[in-house]
Amino acid sequence: MLRSRFFLKVYAVYVGLILLAIAVVGALVAQKVEQRAQESIQQYLADQAALVRELSSPAFGRSSSPSLHDRLRALGGSIGARLTVIRADGVVIADSQESPSAMDNHARRPEVLVALSEGYGTATRFSETVGATMMYVALSVREGGQLLGYVRASLPLAAIEKQTDSLRAIVGLGGGVAALVALPLGLFLARRLVRPLTLMTAVAESMVQGNYDERLDITGKDEVGQLAHTLNRMAESARDRVEAISTDRNKLLTILGSMVEGVIAVDRDGIVLHMNAGAARLLAAEAEECLGKGIREVTRVHDIRDAIDKAMREGTEVQGELRLATLQSHRVVEMRASPLRNGEGTLVGAVVVLDDVSALRRLETVRRDFVMNMSHELKTPITAIRMLAETLIGDKKMGSKTRKRFLSKIRDQSTRLSSIVTDLLALARLESENAVLDTELVDLRDVVLTSIRPLLPDTAEEGPTVTTVAPDAPISVLGDDEALGQATRNLLENALKYTPNDGRVWVRLRSEEGRAVVEVEDTGIGIAPRDQLRIFERFYRVDKARSRELGGTGLGLSIVKHIALAHEGTVTVESRVGDGATFRLVLPLASSPA
């Protein structure tokens, strides 16, 4: 408190004012007291002079009066004043201290001159006779209008000053006592005045530091109390506001942080104000490190920088598509840069939203390819059927044998068309997001063995030898027996299609490590590694002509893949060209502890 500048100022002003007041009042009082003292001394001298006048009137006219002189001497000794009787012509007749003969003519003494004209004269001057500064009071003595002379009483100023000095001392003492009382009182008052301000300053300071919990314990209805109350309310509303702002800010940051889209906000100078995780991921940057840096430093992608510049320059949204290539990936990103404006509509920066549309674009490509492939696949049998039919209609003379052959070709093509459509429908059903599978607890042995039975060649028939290997214990899986049957059938059909008649095919069933495995191995033509990556795609066939000839649609394996996925399983292939292939369908066992 004592170090507070305000306190020092207040106290200094207070001390100054008190001292000034004491000085002024003291001076005035001292002056008044001195004046009064002088007046009363003057009065006293006048009274003494009047007394002497009465005493001395008979002595006028004589050049000197020894008896008067003695009486004056006695009187002056007792009252402490010097008394003088002067004749009208200025000759001193008697004096209480000096011998009249030794005294020069007093006619021109100032107090005598004034008394001559006004009857009463005073003067304060140096006395040649006494050799000290004196105060004189002279009265004229008249009789019947005729001036007889003067009487004079005087006191040395030293005596008067002694009196006034003691009065001054009393006034000074009074002032000193007043100052002694007033200064500590002032200290107390200044403290009382400054303390709330010091407390308020401390609270305001802590608000600046971000602490809004400090409150003032100052009551009172005066201005200081009201100010303290207002400050408390201010702290409260500031805390509420800051809390609301920080809640909003956190919400915003959480929303921005969890957005898949990348968001970058820059100020008018292109300095990054915010970059969310999505944007950092796309730009392969560290969001924290980018804050406060120029966008040019943050990304080398010109399109982003140009879009920001344009959005700010033209004040409109700028859209575009970018290709962002990192070591790991190529991404297609849709970009929208918009100008950022504050509440007054002034441009304060720009915000860029980056939307990774790679998956969408890939999907679009896949869909386009699929539609093209499908149209192509459907077109071939349809064209064949149309041409065969047109030939049949146009050629009236066609022999019945040829006609029969044409008709059976039409039947083959329509069968093919039907199987394509059936496969497509199966695929569409499996691909649809809410693919409905009739899931139940099934023994995979029953499902597999039942489904492949119609495909197993009779002993009389030509074809690869098929061996089925299944364990004694049931293999329980949760699944759709229809779908699982179809998957197995597709695998076995392929094995039979791509394996020469003298080859061998094994259908093996087993459970291992909590999984059920359906393995279809053949000794057929095998699949090259690069094709192995693609055979599960729709319509992908290694040898189109051969597949078609064998009645394949190119959809079989992709149906298997979707069935496996729908059962949370996988399908894989191992193969070497000319050395057969092994397809493995792996599904979770129902009894496995999840």
CB count, 10 Å around CB of 493? 17
Compare residues 86 and 525 and give the one whose CB is closer to ligand ADP. 525
* Closest CB 553 distance from ligand ADP, rounded Å: 5
Nearer to ligand ADP, 306 or 543 (CB): 543
CB of 92 or CB of 525, closer to ligand ADP: 525
Kindly state the DSSP code that residue 294 receives in the 8-state scheme: B
| Cα–Cα distance for residue pair 247/239, rounded to 1 Å | 12
Nearest CA to 451 out of 468, 436, 434, 435 is that of 468
Q: Which two tokens stand for residue 530?
A: 């690069």
Task: Please identify which residue in 155, 535, 571, 589 interacts with ligand ADP, judged by CB under 6 A.
Answer: 535
Q: Is 581 in the site for ligand ADP (CB under 6 A)?
A: yes
Q: Please choose, out of 14-22, 39-47, 105-113, 523-531, the segment that lies near ligand ADP by the rule CB under 6 A.
A: 523-531
Give the other-Cβ count within 10 Å of 190's Cβ. 22
541 is a contact residue toward ligand ADP (CB under 6 A) = yes
At position 568, the amino acid (one-letter code) is: E
Exposed e or buried b for every residue in 90-115, given b needs 16+ CB within 10 A? ebbbbbbbbebeebeebeebebbebb
Q: What whole-number distance in Å separates Cα of residue 518 and Cα of residue 231?
A: 79
Taking the least distance from each CB to ligand ADP, the nearer of 386 and 576 is 576
Give the DSSP letter string of 413-447. HHHHHHHHHHHHHHHHHHHSTT-----EEEEHHHH
Measured CA distances, 578 to 53, 465, 466, 499 (Å): 169, 18, 19, 10
Binding flags for ligand ADP, 456-495, as an x/- string (CB under 6 A): ----------------------------------x---xx
**Contact (Cβ atoms closer than 8 angstroms) between residue 286 and residue 301:** no
Minimum distance from CB of 246 to ligand ADP (Å)?
58
Residue among 544, 568, 438, 559 at smallest CA distance from 491: 559
Of the ranges 172-180, 236-244, 326-334, 517-525, which one interacts with ligand ADP (CB under 6 A)?
517-525
Nearer to ligand ADP, 56 or 547 (CB): 547
Q: What is the DSSP string of 490-512?
A: HHHHHHHHTS-TT-EEEEEEEEE
Minimum CB separation from ligand ADP for residue 539, in Å?
A: 8
Binding positions for ligand ADP, 549-578, rule CB under 6 A: 552-558
Q: Shortest Cβ distance from residue 316 to ligand ADP (Å)? A: 50
Instruction: Select from 30, 287, 525, 564 the one that contacts ligand ADP (CB under 6 A).
Output: 525
| Spatial distance between the Cα atoms of 284 and 303, rounded to a whole number of angstroms | 16
Residue 69 or 538: the one with the smaller Cβ distance to ligand ADP is: 538
**Contact pick of 524, 571, 584, 587 for ligand ADP (by CB under 6 A):** 524
Closer residue to ligand ADP in complex, CB, 317/537: 537
Instruction: Please state the closest distance from residue 448 (CB atom) to ligand ADP, in A.
Output: 17
**C-alpha pair distances (Å), 235 with each of 202, 215, 382:** 12, 8, 82
Which range touches ligand ADP (CB under 6 A), out of 194-202, 239-247, 340-348, 540-548?
Answer: 540-548
Shorter beta-carbon distance to ligand ADP: residue 6 or 506: 506
Q: Which stretch binds ligand ADP (CB under 6 A): 44-52, 184-192, 256-264, 518-526?
A: 518-526
User: Which range binds ligand ADP by CB under 6 A, 32-40, 266-274, 387-395, 520-528?
Assistant: 520-528
Reported as half-sphere exposure (CB side, CA atoms, 13 A), residue 54 has a value of 5
Comparison of 157 and 525: residue with beta carbon closer to ligand ADP:
525
CB atoms within 10 A of CB 64: 16
Q: Which is nearer to ligand ADP, 542 or 566 (CB)?
A: 542
Host H or E run for residue 584 = strand 581-588
Closest distance to ligand ADP from the beta carbon of 489 (Å)? 11
Question: Which of the stretches 127-135, 255-263, 356-364, 525-533 binds ligand ADP when contact is defined by CB under 6 A?
Answer: 525-533
**What is the SS3 assignment for 578?**
coil
Distance between CA atoms of residues 69 and 48, nearest Å: 15
> Quick check: 527 binds ligand ADP (CB under 6 A)?
yes
Out of 7, 150, 212, 498, the residue judged to bind ligand ADP by CB under 6 A:
498
| Separation between Cα atoms, residue 479 and residue 42, nearest integer Å | 138
Which of 147-155, 278-286, 371-379, 542-550 is the region at the interface with ligand ADP (rule: CB under 6 A)?
A: 542-550
CB of 399 vs ligand ADP, minimal distance in Å:
34
DSSP string computed for 499-568: S-TT-EEEEEEEEETTEEEEEEEE-SS---HHHHTTTTSTT--SSHHHHHHTT--S-HHHHHHHHHHHTT
Q: Which residues bind ligand ADP (CB under 6 A)?
A: 490, 494-495, 498, 522, 524-527, 535, 540-543, 547, 552-558, 581
